[in-house]
């Protein structure tokens, strides 16, 4: 008997050196990026004491990220993806340094400058996100897609815990400028890890389509698969209306009274819940009954949002955020695995771009929606209504999308088929 049919080991992906370098790049970039977004939101709220300013911050980042990501997908399928990442990581480093310089001025006049730099960072993100997703597929062997996806998600979320936890204490002790220098160092580390990965061949296209046709191919593929489209849309509407992360500066300052350290820990709580799930997914991926698990996870997310909305206890709020993150972790692993396993190689960049439009719309436009509604009716009613809408979306989806509800994967069969491809 040979070991051919033995079950996969949860460390299989880590045995590949380039996967480890990629994880290093993900780790450095995530620590830097999450720290930066926590501090920019808290700094903007400290300068303005206006939830609408947080909404405008989300919109400033969403406009370039969403409008350029489809072109970014086209570029990622026609230009060397490693080169795209090296350029965009360098731009992120420069943006963090610019935020540090602006923050030394320390008064409300810096607000337009902060928005302008975040807009530039959003431009870089519009090209980086689809390139990073497609570059990952060039590094990870197809038969290790689910295993590597869990490790990459776990690394991302571990650093999403670490970055906000550290940066809240730094902000209270030293102010905003050193926080941005910390982020600049992380972005530079990500550049170095990416540079350590051997160059990969540029994507080969049988023929070059016109730009407009090219950028729509990813969308046509997504919507031709009802289960994939339903999963992405479910997450979009749940986070768009149920997201409360953009309002954490309001809760930290005005409701829970916990300051910079508290806003960092609140951000970290959600990520730590997702971390536990993605670590478990390296052993037991939640895709065997993907549709059922996805609906249950988003429903649990909505309930957690409702608990957080009305909490006036820091520890209850932490627990609610942890549960919301755990539910989001299930959704993340399922969606990431679906996109990786179902995407043809020559379309990965454009399909990733379509996926990133869903993600950006839910996160940044969700931040805009939350900020504007909170300025109108208050933070607590805003978050509570969002939780109720999320539960309504889950109920509607479970009835209207039976293919998603019944969606199942056999992990071993999927990996064997990819291995043979």
Record the tokens describing residue 412, joined without a space. 């071993």
Asked whether residue 7 is assigned to any structural domain, the reply reads: no
Asked whether residue 247 is assigned to any structural domain, the reply reads: yes
* Backbone φ and ψ of 77, nearest 5°: -95, 0
Between the alpha carbon of residue 405 and those of residues 117, 234, 259, 339, 396, the distances in Å are: 42, 11, 42, 17, 11
Asked whether residue 3 is assigned to any structural domain, the reply reads: no
Q: Which domain holds residue 289?
A: 13-199+209-420
pLDDT of residue 321: 94
Interior angle at CA 285, CA 280 and CA 291, nearest 5: 125
Q: How many C-beta atoms lie closer than 10 Å to residue 419's C-beta? A: 11
- d(Cα 74, Cα 41) in Å, to the nearest integer? 31
Record the tokens describing residue 260, joined without a space. 């910079």
- CB 21, CB 195: distance < 8 Å: no
- d(Cα 404, Cα 411) in Å, to the nearest integer? 17
Within 13 A of 300's CA, how many CA atoms are on the CB side?
21
- d(Cα 157, Cα 173) in Å, to the nearest integer? 25
pLDDT in tens, 257-294: 998 999 999 999 988 888 888 777 767 777 777 788 88
Burial of 84 (C-beta count, 10 Å sphere; 0-12/13-18/19+): buried
CATH of residue 226's domain is 1.20.1250.20
pLDDT of residue 229: 77
Asked whether residue 8 is assigned to any structural domain, the reply reads: no
- d(Cα 293, Cα 297) in Å, to the nearest integer? 6
Asked whether residue 153 is assigned to any structural domain, the reply reads: yes
Record the tokens describing residue 108, joined without a space. 């409300």
Residue whose structure tokens are 């009954």: 289
pLDDT of residue 84: 92
Asked whether residue 80 is assigned to any structural domain, the reply reads: yes
pLDDT of residue 415: 40
Record the tokens describing residue 363, joined without a space. 């996160």
Record the tokens describing residue 172, joined without a space. 């209270």
Q: How many C-beta atoms lie closer than 10 Å to residue 119's C-beta? A: 16
Q: How many C-beta atoms lie closer than 10 Å to residue 202's C-beta? A: 13
pLDDT of residue 10: 64
Record the tokens describing residue 92, joined without a space. 């992120």
Asked whether residue 1 is assigned to any structural domain, the reply reads: no
Could you tell me the end-to-end alpha-carbon distance of the chain, in angstroms, rounded to an integer?
Answer: 25
pLDDT of residue 194: 94
pLDDT of residue 40: 93
pLDDT in tens, 316-350: 999 999 999 898 888 877 877 777 666 676 676 67
Q: Total structural domains in the chain?
A: 1
SS (H, E, C) 146-181: HHHHHHHHHHHHHHHHHHHHHHHHHHHHHCHHHHHH
Asked whether residue 278 is assigned to any structural domain, the reply reads: yes
- CB 364, CB 61: distance < 8 Å: yes
pLDDT of residue 38: 92
Distance of CA 52 to the CA centre of its chain: 23
- d(Cα 295, Cα 268) in Å, to the nearest integer? 24
Task: Classify the C-alpha dihedral 220-223-228-229 as positive or negative.
Answer: positive
| Ranges under pLDDT 70 in the chain | 1-10, 69-70, 105-109, 146, 202-215, 282, 340-343, 345-346, 348-349, 353, 360-361, 409-421
Q: What is the largest CA-CA distance in the chain?
A: 72
- CB 262, CB 168: distance < 8 Å: yes
- d(Cα 55, Cα 65) in Å, to the nearest integer? 15
């Amino acid at each position: 008997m040979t070991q051919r049919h033995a079950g996969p080991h949860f460390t299989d992906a880590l045995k590949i050196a380039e996967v480890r370098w990629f994880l290093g790049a993900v780790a450095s970039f995530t620590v830097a990026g999450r720290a930066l977004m926590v501090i920019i939101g808290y700094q903007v709220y400290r300068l303005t004491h206006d939830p609408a300013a947080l909404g405008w911050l989300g919109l400033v980042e969403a406009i370039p990220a969403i409008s350029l990501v489809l072109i970014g997908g086209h570029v990622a399928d026609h230009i060397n993806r490693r080169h795209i990442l090296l350029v965009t990581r360098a731009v992120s480093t420069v943006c963090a340094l610019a935020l540090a310089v602006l923050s030394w001025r320390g008064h409300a006049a810096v607000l337009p400058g902060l928005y302008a730099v975040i807009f530039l960072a959003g431009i870089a993100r519009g090209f980086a996100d689809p390139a990073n997703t497609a570059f990952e597929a060039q590094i990870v062997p197809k038969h290790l897609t689910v295993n590597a996806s869990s490790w990459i998600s776990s690394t991302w979320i571990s650093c999403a815990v670490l970055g906000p936890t550290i940066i809240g204490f730094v902000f209270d002790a030293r102010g905003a400028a050193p926080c941005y220098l910390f982020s600049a160092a992380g972005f530079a580390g990500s550049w170095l890890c990416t540079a350590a990965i051997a160059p990969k061949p540029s994507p080969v296209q049988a023929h070059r389509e016109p730009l407009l046709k090219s950028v729509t191919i990813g969308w046509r593929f997504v919507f031709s698969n009802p289960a994939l489209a339903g999963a992405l849309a479910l997450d979009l509407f749940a986070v768009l209306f149920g997201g409360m992360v953009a309002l954490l500066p309001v809760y930290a300052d005005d409701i829970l009274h916990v300051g910079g350290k508290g806003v960092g820990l609140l951000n970290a709580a959600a990520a730590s819940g997702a971390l536990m799930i993605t670590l478990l997914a390296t052993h037991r991926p939640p895709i065997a009954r993907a549709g059922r698990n996805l609906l249950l996870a988003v429903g649990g997310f909505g309930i957690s949002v409702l608990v957080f909305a009305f909490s006036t206890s820091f520890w209850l709020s932490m627990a609610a955020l942890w549960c919301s993150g755990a539910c989001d972790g299930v959704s993340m692993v399922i969606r990431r695995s679906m996109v990786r396993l179902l995407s043809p190689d020559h379309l990965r960049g454009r399909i990733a771009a379509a996926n990133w439009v869903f993600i950006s719309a839910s996160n940044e436009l969700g931040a805009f929606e939350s900020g504007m509604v909170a300025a109108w009716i208050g933070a607590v009613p805003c978050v509570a209504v969002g939780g109720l809408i999320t539960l309504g979306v889950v109920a509607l989806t479970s009835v209207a999308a039976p293919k998603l509800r019944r969606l199942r994967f056999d992990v071993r069969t999927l990996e064997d088929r990819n291995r043979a491809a």
